[in-house]
Amino acid sequence: MDGAGLLDGGNLCGASLLQLVAGGSAIIAELLRLSSAVPGIFAGGAGGQGRSSTDSSGFDYDAVAFDFAYLKEPEDFENRVNTTAGMLDLDSEFLGAHGAFARRAYALFESMVKYWRDVMAFLERLERGYFIRHTLTNVLEDVDGKQLLCEAFFLYGSMLLLMEAKLPGKARERLVVAAYREQQSALELVDDVCKLVRDASLKKKKQGVSPLEMLLSRFACDESKRVARQIVARLASDDVYLNTTAFPAPEMRTTRLANQAGMLYVILYFDPDILKSDDSAMRQVVDRHYADNWVVHVYMGYTVDLSKEWARAGRPYRAARAALANVLPPKVVQRLALANREKISQALKLLDFYLTEGQLTEQHLLDHMNDLLDCCRLANSSLRWRLLHGPATENFVANLEAPKGLVEAAASFSKELKKKGVVEVSNNETVYVPYAPGKVVVTLLLKTSQLEYTLKEMLQHLLDTKSEKWIFCKTQVVDRMSELSEYFTGSKALARVRRDDNLMRWFSQLAKETESLDDGSSSTEKGQHHPTVLGRKIQTLISALEEVEQFEQVDTNLQIKAFLADTREFLLQMVRVTNVEQEVATILETISDLSYAWNLLPSYISLLHDRVRADPSTAVLLRATFVKLASILDVPLIRISLCGSPDAASVAQYYSSELVDFVRGVLDVIPVSVFQVLDDIVEIQTNKLAPLPVKFETIYLKDYAQLAERYSLAKLTNQVSVFTEGVLAMEKTLLGVIQVEPRKILHDGLRKELVRQLAVATRDILIFPEDVSSIASTLETLATKCDGYRRSVEYLQDYIDIAGLKMWQQELARLVNYAVEQESNKYLRRKIYDADSKFQSTVVPIPSHVVLAPLKGPSSAAGSKPPPGKQQAVMNNNALANNKRRDATFMGRTLSALTSLTNPEKTAYAPEACAWFADNDGAVFNAPPAVLKRGVTCLLPRKRCCGVETFDAVERALGVVGLAGLDKLLAFRVVRDLAGLKEEYKARAKPLSNFLEHLQKDAMEPQWLAPGGGATNDPKVFYAAATKKLEPLASALFLAMRDVGHCQLLRKSIFHTLNLRSRLDASHLHQALEALDKAVLQDMFDYFRRRRGGGPLEDNDDPDDDAFFPIDDDDDDDKSRVDSSADKTAS
């Protein structure tokens, strides 16, 4: 290979390899994106994820979500689906709801297979010499070549590692089978995909090997092992990424090689014989990379503890285990922990010094740039070791094969740690963290981030103004030299010095030499302006200025000496400015990398919340931490951007959105704290603070003032303002490709907490007992609580700059509509999930686990899974029955309470009162037959159980949108009942088809004769026989029509309530719309009356216009007037 680099323009070998690596990074981004959105049915019961096999709406598709057992006998599975009652519809719903996601997951798995094929094809072309002048050896010699080739193998291993961690084997199998059932003929590489994603959990437990080794072995070959050995040798001996300038100190060697350490961990499994038996190679690898860094960061925050991974029981990695035990005995672990504690303490002292206000200036940065970089190196290396190794330090020895003496030493070491350390609580478990408590780690993170953020801002400013500063300093030096030259002419006014031609010429020559200097940014062909030459010239000038002070005429003149001192300072400033290069900013970026902590920092969110609660102004420091965390974007995007891949936008958008979600999670403490204070404000405004009357006597002014309550209210309001002040003080920040605006984050956080509070309130309050007569009191309780929230949000809107009432109305409407949408899923064939819901949001999510939470008690039994060991048929029947559960949300419970309260079997509707009435004992229409025969009139209903006041209570609790939601659910129920009546009527009428045909053709003809009234038949007998024959059809029709009429009466009452509310709250708008509606209808009626009656048409009438009503009576007419969701159900 010639002197040109592998990534130089026109080099197809480097371009091909770069394209491969960029594609691998894009595949991993897609893998992470999909793994966070896997429906529960695919992940249920798989891999110990703890997810249910029921989806978010409670519909259990476990009976039709098949794993790879389907591929062995597909005909049997399909026959079972087609023959089991109701299972075909369930299967259609399942594929319709999740088929698109399954196809997308299959495309991901297929791209992984193709990626590895492309890597092996590249190696084959390289081996055969198709890339002229390039071989595997000289590619590994090139700086870019060895980086890219290592990354190609590393990314494939990372794909498999993350796939196993994020997508369990059972979930992968179900996804592939679902995609296979949808489009068998269109799938490519289906055999290889099945081989890749097959669940190996049971097999790997039997063999004891690592999951990564098991997955890599499925496509392993001798060529891949050979190349992997060469890559391991290169990584073990070289600094592949040339990070020596970032961490030059010998004690920071493992930090410098941390990226290579993660790559080595993955690539070693391509040839596991190294881990098992190659003692010398493993000693070299462990001594260089894992001597004090046994918790390895692999990719995007995924970490591996080698003390557990290689030393786990049954693992055959003897050489790796022995090499690690050799360098990490308990005494070494103790020494490393103590050293890390001292480094953290030293770093905090330096950070406090540099972050003192007024200390860190541009001049200080230019004078002490190396010291500042050393401080950042110390802080970041200490923080990295602490975040990665802190929780694992105490339990390290238990995972190594060590003599009893070392185990006893570890036990005494643990007791010593407990005396010096701090106990923290994380994830509801007490975890001992040695030496550095979590609060210290959070402090170190915040201060390090702030220093780095300040340094980056100052460095960028210096780079932008470098030329201006250089020109300014050079001009000052030239002017001063020229002035000194003129000074020694002796002719200058007020200059009491005799003429000195030598000094005059000497200073003039210095001015000319200084004028010829440039900043070294562009070197000439001869190289005289190279930065090193420039530095030598400036050093010569400074030395000359120091020597000239020895002359008597200069030494005795204090003014000239001061002049020379200032000139020397300007020359030194020119040197400092010249040393500010883009390379310094690049080094600082490398030092400040925090991508390794992407999955570790969430465990410290609670500590960040506590810190913000204690001091809300700390929120300003969080901005620097978020900018530091944005370094996660560098890992996947550097190769994608370098090759100009079109995937750059989607990958950047995904990781940026994940970063913004983390920012929102950290800043959620502000809205939560605000609403905790808001609870007290609600209590004061609702129960303690009495409303002021319009007029009252002055003697009662003190009583109405309620000074104590108003003081408490003002104090709580001030707390809310203090909490929000920190976030509002933050500036806009660009995180990746997303601009983060703190004010919008605050508003979104308040909305999120508001909708969560409303969801919890509706879930806990809207629980109705079997006796639903107390529905009004339940609704009033919710109405009182919601009114308190509304008034408090309105009260605070001016203090925290939000549109409180608008926020309240929007979030209440969104919550109710979401509940209606999820409740209507039981009426729809194609379910609406959170990903498809227009009311759900990723920024301000509605807590579906709260809205759809099953109630405790018998009602939740329908949603429980059948116990294991049941037969498949029983499981299918349970799954089908589970889909028929009734009330998924508070809207469903409210509707059930209303329908139960107005049950037509127990109540009667009085149109003149717009209310339902029932007898005191609830039995009106069930009078005994003997009573009816005696002619005794049943008592009229006396008890008013539901009326306008009930629907007013619903409106006060759930708003107008709640009434509209109930109306929509009733419409769905009507459509369902009518569709069910149609099917049932068909089924019942089928045995009577001959009789009905006879009734239509024979008995009803001729029309002028009474049915059955011929010479031989008696009409009475005919009617009695026909009535008895058709009685089953009439009873079904009666029950269906009764239920439909019941729903329509409820809808009518809802309409009356909405109409009254619109007349009261928006009378002008109501009247305008009512007049418009009447005018349009009247015009339509007049038009069709003239058209059908043959009357004259107006000039603007179109005789062929069917814009309003079509002439034909097609069924689509009625469907167009029904709700779209109900239309789907009916069809």
pLDDT, one tens digit per residue, over 581-630 is 888 999 999 999 998 988 888 888 888 888 888 888 787 788 888 889 88
Residues of 431-452 as b/e, b for ≥16 C-beta within 10 angstroms?
A: ebbbbbbbebbbbbbbbbbbbb
Given this model, what pLDDT does residue 202 score? 58
- CA–CA gap between residue 619 and residue 624 (Å, rounded): 10
- CA–CA gap between residue 162 and residue 211 (Å, rounded): 11
Given this model, what pLDDT does residue 427 score? 36
CA atoms within 13 A on the CB side of 772: 18
- CA–CA gap between residue 807 and residue 843 (Å, rounded): 15
Of the ranges 153-157, 198-202, 419-423, 948-952, the best mean pLDDT one: 153-157
Of the ranges 209-223, 534-548, 822-836, the best mean pLDDT one: 209-223
Q: What are phi and psi of 499, to 5 degrees?
A: -65, 135
Q: Which amino acid is at 327?
A: V
155, pLDDT greater than 90: yes
Instruction: Tell which residue, 645, 657, 738, has the closest CA to residue 25.
Output: 645
Residue 311 vs residue 223, higher pLDDT: 223
CA 1011 to chain centre: 72
Q: Are 468 and 474 in contact (CB under 8 A)?
A: no
Task: Give mean pLDDT, residues 967-991.
Answer: 88
CA atoms within 13 A on the CB side of 896: 17
Q: Are 1127 and 972 in contact (CB under 8 A)?
A: no
Of the ranges 697-706, 891-900, 936-945, the best mean pLDDT one: 891-900
1082, pLDDT greater than 70: yes
Residues of 136-155 as b/e, b for ≥16 C-beta within 10 angstroms?
A: beebbebebbbbbbbbbbbb
User: Tokens 């893998």 belong to which residue?
Assistant: 31
Element (H, E) at 426: strand 422-426
Residues of 280-297 as b/e, b for ≥16 C-beta within 10 angstroms?
A: ebbbbbbebbbbbbbbbb
Q: Is 46 exposed, middle or buried (0-12, 13-18, 19+ CB in 10 A)?
A: buried
Chain segment 753-801, per-residue pLDDT in tens: 899 999 999 999 988 887 777 788 899 999 988 888 888 888 778 777 7
Which residue(s) pair with 917 in the sheet?
A: 908, 944
84, pLDDT greater than 70: yes
Given this model, what pLDDT does residue 154 score? 96
Judged by DSSP in three states, 60 sits in strand
Q: What are phi and psi of 89, to 5 degrees?
A: -65, -40
pLDDT bracket for residue 287 (50, 70, 90): very high
Question: What is the token pair recorded at 790?
Answer: 């509304």
In the chain, what percentage of residues exceed pLDDT 70?
A: 80
Given this model, what pLDDT does residue 437 score? 67
Ranking 240-249, 545-554, 1029-1038 by mean pLDDT, the lowest is 545-554
Q: Are 56 and 848 in contact (CB under 8 A)?
A: yes
Neighbours of 1098 (CB within 10 A): 10
Residue 897 vs residue 1036, higher pLDDT: 897
Given this model, what pLDDT does residue 1003 score? 64
Task: Give mean pLDDT, residues 682-698.
Answer: 80
Instruction: Tell which residue, 691, 707, 684, has the closest CA to residue 788.
Output: 684
In the chain, what percentage of residues exceed pLDDT 90?
A: 31
Judged by DSSP in three states, 903 sits in coil
Task: State yes or no: cis peptide before 904, omega within 30 of 0.
Answer: no
Q: Are 947 and 915 in contact (CB under 8 A)?
A: yes
Chain segment 262-273, per-residue pLDDT in tens: 999 999 999 999
Task: Give mean pLDDT, residues 304-314.
Answer: 85
- CA–CA gap between residue 235 and residue 804 (Å, rounded): 59
Q: What is the mean pLDDT of the chain?
A: 80
pLDDT bracket for residue 1128 (50, 70, 90): very low
Instruction: Tell which residue, 621, 659, 631, has the closest CA to residue 451.
Output: 621
316, pLDDT greater than 70: yes
- CA–CA gap between residue 1074 and residue 1062 (Å, rounded): 11
**Dihedral angle at the C-alpha atoms of 659, 665, 667, 670, nearest 10 degrees?**
170
User: Residue 247 to residues 254, 293, 375, 629: CA-CA distances in angstroms?
Assistant: 9, 15, 11, 20
Report CA torsion sign: 265, 269, 271, 272. Answer: positive
Cβ-Cβ contacts under 8 Å for 971 (sequence gap 6 or more): 1051, 1122, 1123, 1126
Instruction: Tell which residue, 905, 916, 892, 908, has the closest CA to residue 773.
Output: 916
Task: Give mean pLDDT, residues 313-327.
Answer: 88
Element (H, E) at 431: strand 429-433
User: Tokens 């709640």 belong to which residue?
Assistant: 962
Q: Are 168 and 174 in contact (CB under 8 A)?
A: no
Task: Give mean pLDDT, residues 415-427.
Answer: 41
Element (H, E) at 457: helix 438-464
364, pLDDT greater than 50: yes
pLDDT bracket for residue 51 (50, 70, 90): very low
Task: Give mean pLDDT, residues 440-450.
Answer: 92
Given this model, what pLDDT does residue 489 score? 67
Task: Give mean pLDDT, residues 531-540.
Answer: 75
CA atoms within 13 A on the CB side of 999: 13
- CA–CA gap between residue 547 and residue 560 (Å, rounded): 13
Q: Are 1030 and 992 in contact (CB under 8 A)?
A: yes
- CA–CA gap between residue 840 and residue 821 (Å, rounded): 10
Question: What is the token pair recorded at 783?
Answer: 């109405």
Neighbours of 397 (CB within 10 A): 23
CA atoms within 13 A on the CB side of 837: 25
Element (H, E) at 112: helix 87-128
Q: Which amino acid is at 815?
A: L
Neighbours of 130 (CB within 10 A): 12
User: Residue 502 to residues 486, 521, 548, 560, 847: CA-CA distances in angstroms?
Assistant: 12, 34, 11, 16, 87
Cβ-Cβ contacts under 8 Å for 1124 (sequence gap 6 or more): none
Ranking 244-258, 825-839, 930-944, 1005-1019 by mean pLDDT, the lowest is 930-944
Cβ-Cβ contacts under 8 Å for 1060 (sequence gap 6 or more): none
pLDDT bracket for residue 986 (50, 70, 90): confident
The dihedral region occupied by 519, where left means phi > 0, alpha psi between -120 and 50, and beta the remainder, is alpha
Q: Are 561 and 554 in contact (CB under 8 A)?
A: yes
731, pLDDT greater than 80: no
Chain segment 667-688, per-residue pLDDT in tens: 888 888 888 888 788 788 777 8
User: Residue 619 to residues 352, 432, 723, 1057: CA-CA distances in angstroms?
Assistant: 18, 28, 9, 48
Cβ-Cβ contacts under 8 Å for 170 (sequence gap 6 or more): 43, 45, 46, 47, 67, 199
Judged by DSSP in three states, 543 sits in helix
Q: Which amino acid is at 600?
A: L
pLDDT bracket for residue 1078 (50, 70, 90): very high
Chain segment 478-529, per-residue pLDDT in tens: 887 777 777 676 655 445 556 667 777 777 777 777 777 766 555 444 444 5
Task: Give mean pLDDT, residues 961-972.
Answer: 94
Ranking 512-521, 849-858, 902-911 by mean pLDDT, the lowest is 849-858
Given this model, what pLDDT does residue 203 score? 61
381, pLDDT greater than 90: yes
Q: Which amino acid is at 533?
A: V
Task: Give mean pLDDT, residues 63-92.
Answer: 87
pLDDT bracket for residue 1088 (50, 70, 90): confident
232, pLDDT greater than 90: yes
Question: What is the token pair recorded at 549?
Answer: 């002070």
Given this model, what pLDDT does residue 401 score? 40
Task: Give mean pLDDT, residues 319-337.
Answer: 88
- CA–CA gap between residue 972 and residue 988 (Å, rounded): 24
Given this model, what pLDDT does residue 929 score? 52
Element (H, E) at 910: strand 908-910
Element (H, E) at 945: strand 943-946
Q: Which amino acid is at 828?
A: L
- CA–CA gap between residue 661 and residue 738 (Å, rounded): 11
Cβ-Cβ contacts under 8 Å for 585 (sequence gap 6 or more): 456, 459, 460, 463
User: Residue 138 to residues 19, 153, 223, 669: CA-CA distances in angstroms?
Assistant: 19, 17, 17, 55
Parallel/antiparallel/unpaired status of strands 915-918 and 908-910 = antiparallel
List, in sequence order, the alpha helices (H) in 7-86: 12-35, 40-43, 69-72, 74-83
